[in-house]
Structure formats: structure tokens, C-alpha cells
Amino acid sequence: MLERIEEIRSEAGTAIEAAPGTAELEGLRVRLLGRKAELTTILRGIADLPQRERGKVGAAANRARQELEALLERRAADLDAAELEARLAVDRVDVTLPGAPARPVGHIHLITRTTRQIEDVMVGLGYRVVEGPEIEHDYYNFTALNHPPGHPARMLQDTFYVQSHPDVLLRTHTSPVQIRALEVQPPPIFMIVPGKVYRRDSDATHSPMFHQVEGLAIGEGITMADLQGTLSEMLQAIFGEGREARMRPHFFPFTEPSVEFDVSCFQCEGSGALGDGSRCNLCKGIGWIEVGGAGMVDPTVLGFVESSGYDPERVQGFAFGMGVERIAMLRHGVPDLRRFFDNDVRVLGQFR
């Protein structure tokens, strides 16, 4: 009997070590230690053995059982670890691989790209890029920019106000950043302000939200000739070499004198006529295309920031502002401004 126990123990030990997986090991456990296992039968039959064999056989059988239990446990732990390792290797996801199918990466929106091109040009001329809040105080958007109380731009039908705060609004232009910048930085100042602005307007060439770029240059001895030169330089960089800038008299509350500025038409080279003699459709035969507004900063405006060093008797300068969408539409022949914000990739994808 003792020999048989030893046989069972050593055969079982070999089988346990050879078990290829946890499922097979579980099968072995049932076969070796289950209710119908030979060792279990031996243990159950000990009481029927002759008195002198009982002690030895009982002790050997129990030792064998304990040993097999320990072996099974150790092998199970080894197999568990190995199987986990294998699963992890198979399941590993390489997040650096392209997806399947590979998706094209996106690209910068035409409006952002156009804004950055303008920024690049102006930074090249020594200007700094400055930003300001889109939710603005009436003071910065209108009052300090010399808009009198009855000015139409202040009316509810033109401007979005915050309901609970009648003096807070969505800025209608980037010009309020002029005042904010002048308040904190003494002259001279050369800056441009890109950003979103809001007006109650919606048709093919207007959207309630659109983008402007503002320019501001203030120091000693800055004249309208500097404005002309700066606009000319900027418009050539945007619309191509050989373009010219033209100023026409206009009115803005915060500049004096004020102008609107045009660029010579880049389709008909400013002639107003196309090669076949027909009228240029881009400039409507005029030879010039309106781009934005500008002027010499009104001394009244500087009066609001005099304590920051802007003595209207000593410093002066110019400001200009233009719509980014308009420039993008002109350059790329986009007929409807609202297409920029529909987020239809078939439209946006054309402008990489």
C-alpha cells in the first residue's frame, strides 16, 4: 500500500509539472484529489485496514495529499502568470500606429489661416499680437471710442447685449482692445488684434459672428503717410505684389480723419475690365475692392488714456480694421460667408 501511495505521488507530481494550461490542471486536480480519486479512496479505506498498518498508511496518504495540493497550487500560480503574460502580449495596443483605415489629419480653418497670414505680415513690420475679451464693457466698446449716446451701433437692433447687465455686450469690433492696450502700455505702441466680433446681421456677406484684425500704431510723429505705407505693404503681402492701397474719406467716431481703404483689384489688375473687354465681376468694373476702415486716432480717444502717457499734444497715430472673412472670400472666390461656419468638410477641405 505504501508503495502504491508513493507511485501515485510521483506520477501525479510529473503530470502536474507537465500540465500545459490551467484548464488541464483543473482536470488533473479532480482526477487526483476528487471524490473518485485513488488517493481519496485509500484515505477513505484506512479505517478498514489492519490496526498496525493504519498509522503508517494514513500518515503517508495524508502527506501525499498535502504534497499534491501544494504542487497543484504552485503550478496553478505559474500557469496563471504565464497565461496573463501571453494575453497581454496578444492584446497589446500600439497607440502610435495609424488607425484602420488610416484617417486623414485635419487642417487649419481658412479663417484661422488667413488671420495668421495677416499676423505674420504685421509681426514682420514690428507689430505685436494682442488679444482682448469678446464679452466687453460698453465703456471699451463704445464710450471710450467716442461713440455718442445716440449712435446707431449702440442700438439693440445692431448689438447683442447681456440681458442682466445692460452695459455688457458682445463686442461689435476689435477696437475696444485699443483702449485696453493703451491703458496698460505707454507709447509707442504697434499692435494688431485678431479676434471674433458680433453683430445682429445675417446674409451672404454677414454673419452674427465674424473675425476682424485691428491695427494700432501710436507714437511721436506718426502721420497718415505712415498709414498709407503700412496698408500698402500689408495689402501687397496679402493680395500679391504690385497691389496698391487707396484711401477714401469716411467716418468713424474714434478716428479723425477717417477713411475706408481699398486694394487695387487683383483680377483685372485695377483696370476694371477683363481680357475680353467685359466688366470685371470682382471689383464691378471699379478697379478697387474695399477692404476695411482706418484713420488717425481721434485725440478725444487718447484723452481717455492720457494718464497712461498718451498726451494728445505729444503722440498721435493711426488705426485700421478689416474683416478676415471678407479677405478670405475675395482671395478664394467664396460666394457666401456663412459657408465658413457650416463646418461642411467638403467646403473646408478645399482650403488646406
Residues that bind ligand PHE (CB under 6 A): 173, 175, 214, 252, 255, 293-295, 319-321
Q: How far apart are CA 121 and CA 233, in angstroms?
A: 9
- Closest CB 324 distance from ligand PHE, rounded Å: 12
- Closest CB 197 distance from ligand PHE, rounded Å: 7
Query: What single-letter amino acid sits at 94?
Result: D
- Closest CB 146 distance from ligand PHE, rounded Å: 11
Residue 175 in grid coordinates: 477696437
Q: Which of 198/288 has CB closer to ligand PHE?
A: 198
- Closest CB 213 distance from ligand PHE, rounded Å: 10
Q: Which of 239/252 has CB closer to ligand PHE?
A: 252
Residue 63 in grid coordinates: 502527506
- Closest CB 214 distance from ligand PHE, rounded Å: 6
Nearby residues of 307 by Cβ (< 8 Å), 6 or more positions away: none
Residue 292 in grid coordinates: 476695411
The DSSP code sequence of 55-92 is HHHHHHHHHHHHHHHHHHHHHHHHHHHHHHHHHHHHH-
Q: How far apart are CA 36 and CA 32, in angstroms?
A: 8
Packing angle, helices 38-45 and 51-91, rounded to 10 = 150
Q: Which of 174/264 has CB closer to ligand PHE?
A: 174
Q: Which of 159/175 has CB closer to ligand PHE?
A: 175
- Closest CB 338 distance from ligand PHE, rounded Å: 19
341 secondary structure, DSSP code: G
Q: Which of 58/208 has CB closer to ligand PHE?
A: 208
Q: How far apart are CA 145 and CA 202, in angstroms?
A: 25
Ramachandran region, residue 49 (left: φ > 0; alpha: ψ -120 to 50; beta: rest)? beta
Q: Which of 172/264 has CB closer to ligand PHE?
A: 172
Which residue number has the CB closest to ligand PHE? 321
100 secondary structure, DSSP code: S
- Closest CB 334 distance from ligand PHE, rounded Å: 21
Q: How far apart are CA 141 and CA 161, in angstroms?
A: 12
Closest to 5 in 3D by CA, of 17, 305, 49: 49
Q: Which of 217/265 has CB closer to ligand PHE?
A: 217
Q: Which of 68/263 has CB closer to ligand PHE?
A: 263
- Closest CB 272 distance from ligand PHE, rounded Å: 26
